[in-house]
Structure formats: structure tokens, C-alpha cells
Structure 1
Amino acid sequence: MRAVRVTEFGGPEVLENVELPDPEAKAGQVLIDVDHAGINYADTHQAENTYLAPSQLPLVPGGEVVGRTGDGRRVVALLGSGGYAERAVAEQAMAFDVPDGVDDLTALSFIVQGTTAWLLLRRNAHLEPGESVVVHAAAGGVGTIAVQLAKAWGAGRVIATASSEEKRKLALELGADVAVDSRAEDMTETLREANGGNRVDIVLDMTGGPVTDQSIKALAPFGRLAFYGMASRQQPKPVQLGNLLRHSATVSGMWLPHAFTLPGQVYGKALAELFELALSGKIGAVPGGEYGLFEARKAHEALRSRATVGKLMLDPRR
């Protein structure tokens, strides 16, 4: 089968186009003929071994696919790796049936980015109707869904940040009340101005560095910042607990693989609700571009340049 492989860690240049034997499903696993593989920013970290979970070489990147099983089921599945290929193996518990009416783009948008947005707003931030919500990187895979979910769940004011006029326009079209430049020199003041001079209740942040530091300073009393990534590859400053006490603020973290282990089918509940919202027309996926399998390097270059919006996919059939 055709696949993309990494044999040394690094940037997009380490992605190699290769032919590999088909993977074999073991007990408790399922073999999937891949129709599309999702591309996530985490894949770039996986390729350079800077992800929270260490990578092992050789590596076929890719943590999500949608396709058909041998018995004809159409599923979207989470993988540890192996998605950038014509066939992939997933644990049966991590392969979810895709409802009729949900296309590949939507299924792939929800399996990681959608569930991330759901968990951040429901479990980390505990969004209450009427609260203000800041969505950093609002034109990205998680951001585009988080903006829509926040509005669907009654947020009073959704403030989007994005790096270009085009991206800010997209965020407004998705339901954000205001969109500001993510490159603002003083993000604390920028967010307060965008919220009518008031501090903000919730911040969803995957940027890191000064953006995180300044966003924490913008939190209202009992405000919550949910941290779920570090796209800038810059560590934020250590959080001073005394400062949190001073404003009764909360800073929390969320790593999606951890949610897979939670009791009560939290992950499955999130995905099922997202599918229902999509079928009812309340939220939708934003296409970010489709690449042929052997264009994976190009896709990673686009992701790292911050030039993309929405959901990116690989098509192993071309």
C-alpha cells in the first residue's frame, strides 16, 4: 500500500512517500480502507517528536481516518498513528459509526477538533449562558467549531482572534461577535476592548507564550482559561497561584488522549452530540483543503506557516 513514513525526526522534509505492506488487525482491532485521513497540527509535533506522548520510529503519522471496514461499516476512527496510508488499523473501541448525512469532512472535523472544542467548553470552562468566550486561533480546526458551539450553547459574546483579515472574516461568518488580530502587542487590553471594556469569562487557548500570559491577565473574577496546545512552541510563564487567588481565576489543561480513558463514555457522548448538532444544521465543518496522500509534506508546510483555516484532509486514492 502507499503510505507516508518518518524515519528521522524533523519538519515537513522528513515525510517520505513509500510503499509498505498492508497492516494486519489483531484481536480487538479493525482494518479500515481509508477514504480520507485527517491532518492535525499535532501531526507536526509527532513528526518532530515534540508531542506530549513520545513518538517511535519508524512512524506513519496520522491519528484519524474515515473509511470502510471489511464488513461494510462506514466509520471514523482514532489511531495512535498510521493514518497517512491507504489502509489503517484502529482499536474497535475507537472506531465510531458515521451517521447517514454526515460527510467525511464533518466526521474528521469532529473526531478530534470537534470533541476537543466540546470538552473545553463543557468540562474545562463549564460555559454558562451569557458568558463571554475568547477563542484563540478561531479560524483553525478547533476554533471554527468552538465558535459555533459557544454560540449554540448561549454564550453572550464570542471574541475570536486570528492572524489575517480573511480569517477574522471567517470567524465572524461562523457566529463570532467580534474578531481581533492575534498579533496584537497587548492581548490583555485587546480582549478587554473587544468585550466592551470588561474582563472576559472564558479563554480557549492553544497558542502559548505571551498570548497565554496576557490572556490570563484578561480574565474576569471566576474566569477560566482552558489550555490545550502550544502552537507557538513557546512556553508561557509559570502561573502564580497568588494571582489566581486575587481574581478567583482558573487555569486548566486538556489533552484529548486523556479523555479516551475517562469513565462514562465522555468521548462517545461528545461525538454523538456533535453529530446531532451537525444533522440539525446548528454547526458545520469548515473545509481547509484536500491534499493527495503524497502531498503530506505540502500540507504540513501550510499548517506550520499558519496559512490554513478549517479542516485539512489527505485523500489516499490520489
Structure 2
Amino acid sequence: MSEAPHISVLLDEVLGALDAKPGETILDGTFGAGGYSRAILESGANVVGFDRDPTVLRFAEPLAAQNNRFRLIQDRFSQMGEHFEPGSVDGVVLDIGVSSMQLDEAERGFSFMRDGPLDMRMAADGPTAADLVNELEKEELARIFYVYGEERESRRVASFIIRRREEKPFTRTLDLAEVVERALGGRRGAKAHPATKTFQALRIAVNEELSELENGLEAAEKILKPGGRLAVVTFHSLEDRIVKNFFTERAGRTPGGSRHAPPTQRGPEPTFELIGKATAPGEAELAVNPRARSAKLRAGLRTTAPTWAEGRGA
């Protein structure tokens, strides 16, 4: 029995930014349920999907059987450079963060809206969210909640977790969500559940999402051909800040300093030209897919300049 396809966020805008053509090679760095890959294949391009989540095989295998221009590599997208030569790819798309497919599966432990094991791993290895909340020191837990979740009451949340785990370790999502809710004094009329930021922080920490994104952007810079395109969809401010800063720097748009100060040393040649401005979903898309409300697309066109790592080493 086939599953209903999940809705790909900003699909038309992503396709416009990639501008894929027959015979080109496009990497879908976050394959998920394959929405972007299917749409890109319709352009006649060859598509290589990347995903570290083994459960995506149920979407990838039928697609590969239907279309010989598609294949999946089971790896992190930050490792694209291990599979492709520099300057060999025409386009890369990255859809950052947890997928609706992962959120909807209680057994993955990503959501506080469904009871499930406190896991949150996108791959099948490494420490779980339960390992973090049961084993980390208070200061480290508070740091994770503050930095990755932007939770202002991070120390209070960490204190409640430490106190509770001394009685009984955490194993379930709803158990943790209830403790966080008690720490923060309940919903208090807030639109979002009190545990939203804590769960986001744990998910980012478990999957090393921010360093994965930074390394993935640098990998894309390396493997894209001159004229190749990079499109990145983010879902919260931490991710978008990384992507915005990357494109701003690589496009040579960093501030030049004060006119009263000595001129700053010129950096490497720009490796990207910006493609338009940051794009958010329109009202029509939000009406169909409310989960897209925080999404933002940024895109760039690869220049002929060497990667910044090469430029600095020269």
C-alpha cells in the first residue's frame, strides 16, 4: 500500500531557483518523502537523493524503480563532497530540519503531541534525546535549551528535569513535555506548547543539525559547477541565520567597515551571486500546509571563483 505524498514546502519557488534542465545533475540533500526529487525529475534532470534516515527507503526504492534517473545515497548531506568531485554538480537543494513524516510517526519521538520513545534521531545511531536528558549535567542541558531552543527559562527547565530524573529516568515524549510544562507554569494562553523550544533544542543537539548545515553549505560550494545553483529552505531563525550569513559572505556583501577606519583587507573572491531575495510561503500555500508558516528560501548561483577554503590557502 503506497503512502500519500507529503507536501513539499515552497516547491514552485525551489524549482524556479534550481532551474533544472534535461541531463543536469541535481542533488536533493534532504530526500525525505521525495517531493522535491519527483518534481525535479519532471524537468528531465538526473537526481541523486541524500538522506541519513533509513526509513526513507520506502519512498526512494519505488522512485528508483520507476525512474532510472534517480538514485539514493544513504548518508548525511554534509558528506556530499565524499561522493562527488569538485565542480561536478548542477544544483543542490536542502530542506533543513525535521520532516512532517518524522513528526507524524510517534515511534520516532520528535513530537510532544504524541506519546512515543524519547528518541529524535534522524539516523539509527548515536545518543538519543533520552540519553541527553538523563545523563547531561545541568549546565550543559541549560546551554542546549538556551542556544538551540532560544529558551529564556533554560536553567529552570534544566532544574526541573534534573530533579525528576533522580526519581525516575525519562523514556517517553509526553513525560518530558509534562515536566517542561510544569517548569514553565503551564500554557498561560501561549499559542505554542511550552515544550516546543525544549524539544527543538534536543532534536538539534541529537542530530548535530547546525554543524551539519554549516558543513553542508561548504560541501555544496565545493561540488557545484560554475553556474550551478544552491537552494536552501529553513524553518527557524537559527538555521536561517546560518544560511543568510553564508550567502552574504560568499556573495561578498559583508560590511566594509567605517569610513573613518582604515580599509579592511579584501577577502576571497565571491563564490555565489544571490538569486533574488529570501522567499516565504504565500497565503495560498499556508492555507493548504500550515506547517510551512516559518519556512524561508534563500538561493545562490555559483561563480567561477575557487571555494573559500582554497582561496584562503592560496
TM-score tier by shorter-chain length is: 0.3 to 0.5
Greater share of residues in strand: 1
Q: Greater Rg, structure 1 or structure 2?
A: 2
TM (norm. structure 2) is: 0.38
Greater share of residues in helix: 2
